[in-house]
Structure 1
Amino acid sequence: MSIATRNLSLLIGAQMAFVSGSVITVTMGGIIGAKIAPSASIATLPVSLMILGTALGTIPASRIMQALGRKAGFIGAALAAAGAMLLAGFAIKASLFWLYCIATACTGITIAFSQQFRFAAAESVPLHRAGLAISLILIGSIGGAFLGPELIAQGERFAESAFMGALQAAAGLFCMAAILLACLSLPEMIADADEHPDQAARPLREIAQNPYFLLAVLSGTVGYGVMTYIMTATPVSMHVHDGHSLTDTAQVIRAHVLGMYVPSLFSGLLITRFGEKPIITLGLIAYVITLGAALAGQQVMHYTISMILLGVGWNFMFVGGTTLLVSTYRASERFRVQGINDAAVFGTSALGSLLAGTLLSSFGWTTVVISTVPALVAVSGMLIWLKGRPVATV
């Protein structure tokens, strides 16, 4: 087995653990919040803080891994995530909303480190295979999509409640992920500016003059932001406002996460064959159809269809944007550019998640859905502007 293949296999396994923990938090965060929060308007705050933790942790995560290496950063994040799961369980048992919020925020910070899995995968293969490597890492999330809701459904077998059991099982998964990550053999990509002046790091303003850098960041930011915004509101809208069962709500979130990651089986190949712009365009089209399905009704069927399409659109826009980003920076710029990109992506996601609960409780589901239109128009305008312009690889 080659080093690249082994690295991809280990990263896929670790990705499954992190996604399981994330899905558990997203599924139960708003519901727990609705039960123990002092106000219904902040019921989604735990999920929002998880995403905010990811946003705030992106640049520190990049700097830590630049100083200590990706491997050390990944292992530390997995162990910290296990501790956050146990802290969340204690907070729920004690009905301490503020402590539960701290636990989900800590979970978000660890997820900031795991978001670098895709860059570690891209750096393990030649540039022309980066899209495929990135999409393969996301395949690990398919296992997490099944495992996370299943741990909630079977949680009472492990502890006194479904949520407590799921959190304890997730802590065990994160410990296993730490073991897998300890076996990584990642390449060093340190450019010597004296020996290779053409590889010296450029000022950010020079990097940003590349319109495809802007498209890459915009695609990831809008793709992730819109997805998180609607996804955060969905469990509360379904279970708390519309009275659908916890089982149905968990199944819809599972369908959404599968919609996010199943396309990874072929999205990398599509990018290799057709390029990043057509795949980003397909993701945008999927989002438009998502809005139509979400506005058609609020039965389980409508939620399921809209959430699956939301996941597919996210995959195409996020994988397409990430692959495009990799071609816009030099090796010496990777940590800084990756950190800035992820800060924009997850900062927007955090803002969307924070707004989701407030808008949902004040104005309802329809307003949440319609309010995403301006962001989609912005990506459309960027794609039209770049139509016919070739991508210049750095």
Structure 2
Amino acid sequence: MTQDTPLSPPLPVPDGAGARRPAVRRRPPDLGLLTACQTLYQIAVSVDLTLTAIVGMRLAPTMALATLPLTLITVIGAVAAAAAGVLIPRFGYRAVMLAGSGAAVIGGCASAAAVHSRSFPLLCVGTSLVGLHKASGAYYRYLAADRAVPARRGRALATVLAGGVVAALAGPFLATESSMWFSTEFIGSYLVVSLASALVLPLIALLSATPGEPANSPARLRPPPAPLRPALGTVPFRRGLAALGYGGTVMTLLMATGPMGSQQAGHTVAQGAMVIQWHMVGMFAPSWFTGRLSTRFGPRAVALAGALVLVAGTAVGAAGTAMPLLMAALGLVGVGWNLLYVAGSGFVVQCYPQGRGSRIQSAVEGATACVSAAASLSAGYLFTRIGWSGANLAMLALSAFACLHFLRRTRA
């Protein structure tokens, strides 16, 4: 955690004199601001996650491309996450986060225009810009960990993620309620993306600067990012990458195919949104306690628990497309993802000195985003070939392999 360096030591107080506390400069409640940013960021992204596969089905020239706009959120996010490793040391976290949120404001408007004009390419442009926001928003949790004392870094990570609980309830609801604000369906939904992203901007501006940002310190005094190469061979790095990769793959593929499976089964758009809502509750509600579990039992045990929950969720999903099965399956997959995400993030922050992790963070975020992008891109093809149940069986096999991975003891 960045601390302010006192200008001078406190003066001695004579015996009997009234002691005065040295003036302490108050800092903004950064953890609360970052949690609010996470909430609004997840609301914006959840609207896209709820509707873009369905909108893609209506606008795409072929069914196999239906999930391409959704995939571009992850693909562009992967590229931007890698670029952030170069940009954050130079410009600071706040500037990168402001740029990502601003891009999503434009992206939401572009997606709304795409729906109005029935332009599939423009929809792809809009979701690509939202992908920049997805990349920058992934750093909220890391910034919170950097500003926490070492013993509470895992809890700070989980606290920020808990902001997604509000988004889980509000995002899909807003996606469906706003879909009919205008004569053309879904224009209002994408304008909600722009509005939520715009509200993030003043919150980021209120964050206190850190010594890693130009506003506080000249470049020669800023601590350099920890090098990536030494971290690559460490057990925490490999386990963190594995946890984030397994969870991201299963969650992304099934969340992309879930709305399509719901619609193909004859459920309404509102029912499909409810499925995503329960999925997002599963993704973020456990954050209230996963940080404590990680502190008490260690990230490896939490990652193993997450993989086991994914096995349960995919097994339920393979059973069919009835509404109770869809809700239970995606809810469990969300819980499993949360456990793996918090555990993986906990592994990653062990790989670098506090406040110097931008290069390692960007490598991990870029790699896991690429894996998730591949899962999202293949979702439409898999759905047309093997359906919802078949996709769950494939992810069941991967989840079982993840269990074996975290059961195996690895030498440091």
In 2, Cα distance between equivalents of 1:98 and 1:111: 20
Structure 2, unpaired ranges of 5+: 1-23
Matched residue, 1:216: 240
Q: Deviations over 1:326-360 (max 9, x none)?
A: 01223575111101100111110000000110010
1:234 to 240, 258, 263: 258
Name the Cα RMSD after superposition.
2.5
Matched residue, 1:181: 204
CA contact (8 A) 1:154 1:162 kept: no
1:270 to 290, 293, 318: 293
Please give the residue correspondences for 1:332-351 in structure 2 after superposition, counting only pairs within 5 Å.
334-351=357-374
In 2, Cα distance between equivalents of 1:149 and 1:383: 33
In 1, Cα distance between equivalents of 2:228 and 2:348: 16
In 2, Cα distance between equivalents of 1:65 and 1:117: 13
Please give the residue correspondences for 1:4-83 in structure 2 after superposition, counting only pairs within 5 Å.
6-83=29-106
Matched residue, 2:307: 284
Q: Deviations over 1:335-390 (max 9, x none)?
A: 11101100111110000000110010122122211222453344333323327x6x
User: Greater Rg, structure 1 or structure 2?
Assistant: 2
Measure how far apart 1:38 and its partner are.
0.7
Q: What secondary structure sits across from 2:207 in the alignment?
A: coil
In 2, Cα distance between equivalents of 1:78 and 1:373: 35
In 1, Cα distance between equivalents of 2:355 and 2:63: 47
CA contact (8 A) 2:318 2:390 kept: no
In 1, Cα distance between equivalents of 2:53 and 2:284: 23
CA contact (8 A) 1:54 1:109 kept: yes
Structure with higher helix content:
1
CA contact (8 A) 1:50 1:105 kept: yes
In 2, Cα distance between equivalents of 1:312 and 1:332: 29
Measure how far apart 1:2 and its partner are.
9.4
Aligned pair 1:310/2:333, yes or no?
Answer: yes
Matched residue pairs, number?
385
What TM-score comes out, normalization by structure 2 length?
0.88
CA contact (8 A) 2:319 2:389 kept: no
Q: What secondary structure sits across from 1:298 in the alignment?
A: coil
Matched residue, 2:7: none
Q: Deviations over 1:182-223 (max 9, x none)?
A: 00014325999x9999x984451x322212210111101111
In 2, Cα distance between equivalents of 1:214 and 1:4: 35
Bigger CA drift: 56-65 or 297-306? 56-65
What TM-score comes out, normalization by structure 1 length?
0.91
In 1, Cα distance between equivalents of 2:285 and 2:61: 38
Matched residue, 2:189: 166
Give the partner amino acid of 2:241.
V
Same amino acid, percent of matched pairs: 26
In 1, Cα distance between equivalents of 2:289 and 2:330: 20
Bigger CA drift: 368-377 or 140-149? 368-377
Q: Deviations over 1:91-127 (max 9, x none)?
A: 1100000110111111112210110001000001012
Cα 1:39–1:5 change in 2 (3 A) is same
Give the partner amino acid of 1:291.
T
CA contact (8 A) 2:308 2:400 kept: no
1:295 to 303, 318, 322: 318
Give the partner amino acid of 1:21.
A
In 2, Cα distance between equivalents of 1:161 and 1:323: 44
Aligned pair 1:363/2:365, yes or no?
Answer: no
In 2, Cα distance between equivalents of 1:84 and 1:277: 38
